[in-house]
A and B are shown apart, each in its own frame.
Chain A
Amino acid sequence: MTKMVEYPSGAIVPERDIGYRPVLEALHLGIDFGGLTAVDDFNLIVGKTEIAGLIGPNGAGKTTVFNLLTKVYQPTRGTILLDGQDTSKMTTVDANRAGIARTFQNIRLFNNLSVEDNVKVAMSKDFSYTTLGGILRLPRYYRQEEEAHQKALELLRIFDMQDLAETAAGNLPYGAQRRLEIVRALATKPKLLLLDEPAAGMNPVETEELMNNIRKIRDDFKIAVMLIEHDMKLVMGICEGIAVLNYGRIIAKGTPEQIRCNPTVIEAYLGSNREV
């Protein structure tokens, strides 16, 4: 079990990440849609190689937080520091280039492209040839395309998907589509990987495999992972720090043990005694 250390500010990160700059610092983050406050005063620190969990009942605002962090939504209040860099004013594209990548709750693949092309689309950091260079097929085109091909296969190997490289992404089975989304996100070389319900629709065996793979990704790529998940076995099994969200606010933060026995969390999930 990872030892978690508390900062003076109250944030907790794994002991091994002490001394490194946290990959994510969200400070007083909030967003209003008209009169509705969807997320408010969201404070979270994620360590450099932490696996963090974000849980909460349906409609708590978990995906909204992901959309804020990846700048799909512009926050009404607050600051986001990604590895020390302020991304609060960036576009989605720039935030991705700054080092944040994500998967989607409702799968969003490039369905008509092959599995390999899905991965290559995300590898823009590995290419430097121009449009004209691509049309004229300059030597650089062949060199970089070959490198990208090898690299894409290597990334697909994480989930043992290299044999599916030429299949159209839209024809993959559901579980494989979820895994491909993770590979595609990894291909952008992120510092922080956001997974929105990665185990949704997976059976217990697949979930077990996914847990091992998430750990492996963290160890191999030395990145932080933050995930939204309803499968408590997965969350309690791999997350080192967990934040619980309810009605757009964080109601508890801590290690899996602390969260499990936290009365506020139990109340948020199961309702209080008085209501029963």
Chain B
Amino acid sequence: MSNLKNLITRKFFAAGKLNRTFSYLLVIIGYLLLQSLSNAGALTSHFSSLLVPLTSYIVIAIALNLTVGFSGELSLGHAGFMGVGAFSAVIVSGLLTPYLPSAPLRLIVAMLAGAIVSAIFGALIGIPVLKLEGDYLAIVTLAFNQIIKTVINSIYLGYDNNGIQFSFVNNKISLGPGAVTILKGPIGANGIKRISTFTAGFVLILITLLIVYNLINSRKGRAIMACRDNRIAAESVGINVMHVKLEAFIISAALAGAAGALYGLNYSTLTPAKFDYNLSIMILVYVVLGGLGNIAGTIISTSILYILPEQLRFLQDYRMIIYAVVLIGIMLITNNDWFRYQLARLSRKLKRRRKKAKGGAGND
């Protein structure tokens, strides 16, 4: 009987092996399905254009779940890291175009650059911010989001035959022959070579899943969750809480940066205003509705909540009302005891079947 209670109260599908298998299957099957549909020409061009942003949002939502769900820090600034990643990637891709004509290779380099720059920002922001807790952390990350956006808003960058020119003031930049402008302040970047592909997004999701699942099932992941559950107890058993939280934050920022790079290189124009707190909140909604600490849930909720409003465009003004109703519905259903019990029963059945398949006798 205690086992039953255990299953009901325990977070369904937590970070266990079942969740991991499910996530990988979901992503792989989803990719194969959408890719074959797309090849068969069964997808509208509008729907096809949603695929790359979708993969990018899935990655950043998983990254945010690492911070909010596993590390227990409410960050409202992840769109900032996405923006840093996106514009770093646009700059790197823009500068490398003459030297690295191969688009996939340039995409990889740009995504790495996005991840690294974003990780550096993550460290710079994380060191002061992670000393705070709860609401204060949320407020400060929100502010950093705005700061990052404002800074990108005022960058003018371009190159000509003489080299790279960079300024925070528009008229200081005077490009000679062979000029290419990459960033134009609030206008952002124009004429970006669109090199992101759905396959690249798919691979990035797989890498993200690998990193996050392996991380949380390692000693560091246990420490991250221990700090979330009880900070004082974690310190008392020799865990450096600040260090552990910072590490999780940096990894999360790096993944968000890579997602931003994928996102940025999917559009021919990109404005800094895109990466404001609205985007941060939207991603947080994906994470919370998918379940804190539940990666498979994050993937599902992101897919539904991103595609749905886009597909409801024919409803025009009623679109966001339907979206709101869906959000409320999901919240009510997932907090319903009966529903949770059924889910728990299902997961127990699956576990039993797996144990039997292994041939080992179960403990109960």
Contact = CB atoms under 8 A, between A and B. Distances in A.
Interface string B243-262: 00001000000000000000
A156 to B, nearest CB: 14
B21 interface: no
Contacts of A141: 218
A92 B238 CA distance: 7
A171 B229 CA distance: 14
Contacts of B293: 112
B239 interface: yes
Contacts of A101: 236-237
Interface stretch (A14-22, A128-136, A232-240): A128-136
B316 to A, nearest CB: 44
B161 interface: no
B14 interface: yes
A72 interface: yes
A4 interface: no
A141 B222 CA distance: 14
B215 A108 contact: no
B230 A108 contact: yes
B229 A113 contact: yes
Contacts of A117: 222, 225
Contact of A121 (B5, B14, B237, B363): B237
Contacts of B233: 104, 108-110
B6 A187 contact: no
A104 B219 CA distance: 23
Contacts of A137: 214
A163 interface: yes
Nearest to A169: B229
B214 A108 contact: no
Contact of B215 (A118, A129, A131): A131
Nearest to B212: A135
Given A92-B235, A93-B235, A135-B218, A111 B229 contact: yes
Contact of B222 (A93, A121, A125, A136): A121
Contacts of B6: 167-168, 171
A102 B219 contact: no
Contact of B220 (A122, A131, A148, A168): A131
Contacts of A148: 219
A131 B218 contact: yes
Interface residues of B, number: 36
Contact of B214 (A97, A102, A118, A134): A134
Contacts of A129: 218-219
B217 to A, nearest CB: 8
A168 to B, nearest CB: 5
A113 B229 CA distance: 8
Contact of B219 (A72, A97, A134, A188): A134
B230 A122 contact: no
B107 to A, nearest CB: 22
Interface in A202-250: none
B11 A121 contact: no
A124 interface: yes
A185 B9 CA distance: 26
A127 interface: yes
A184 B14 CA distance: 22
A73 to B, nearest CB: 12
A67 to B, nearest CB: 10
Contacts of A49: none
Interface string A94-111: 001100011010001111
Which has the most chain A C-beta neighbours within 10 Å: B6, B219, B241? B219
**Most interface-central of A120, A124, A163, A187 (chain B CB within 10 A):** A124
Contacts of A184: 237
A96 B238 contact: yes
A3 B230 CA distance: 41
A72 B240 CA distance: 13
Contacts of B5: 171
B225 A97 contact: no
Nearest to A135: B214
A70 interface: yes
Nearest to A163: B363
Which of A124, A131, A141, A187 has the most chain B CB atoms closer than 10 A to its own CB? Answer: A131
Nearest to A136: B214
A118 B222 CA distance: 8
Contact of A134 (B220, B225, B228, B230): B220
A120 B233 CA distance: 13
B234 interface: yes
B53 interface: no
B117 to A, nearest CB: 19
B211 interface: yes
B12 to A, nearest CB: 12
Contact of B10 (A104, A163, A168): A168
Nearest to B364: A163
B264 interface: no
A275 B238 CA distance: 47
A110 B103 CA distance: 47
Contacts of A72: 232, 235-236
25 contacts: A92-B236, A93-B238, A96-B237, A109-B229, A109-B230, A110-B226, A110-B230, A110-B233, A110-B234, A111-B229, A112-B229, A117-B225, A121-B239, A122-B237, A124-B219, A124-B223, A124-B238, A131-B247, A134-B215, A134-B220, A135-B211, A148-B219, A167-B6, A171-B10, A185-B236
Given A93-B238, A121-B226, A171-B10, 20 more contacts: A70-B236, A72-B236, A96-B237, A104-B232, A104-B236, A108-B230, A110-B229, A111-B229, A111-B230, A113-B229, A121-B237, A134-B218, A135-B211, A135-B214, A135-B218, A163-B363, A168-B10, A171-B2, A171-B6, A188-B238
Which 6 residue pairs spanning A and B have beta carbons closest together?
A: A134-B218, A122-B237, A108-B233, A110-B229, A96-B238, A92-B235
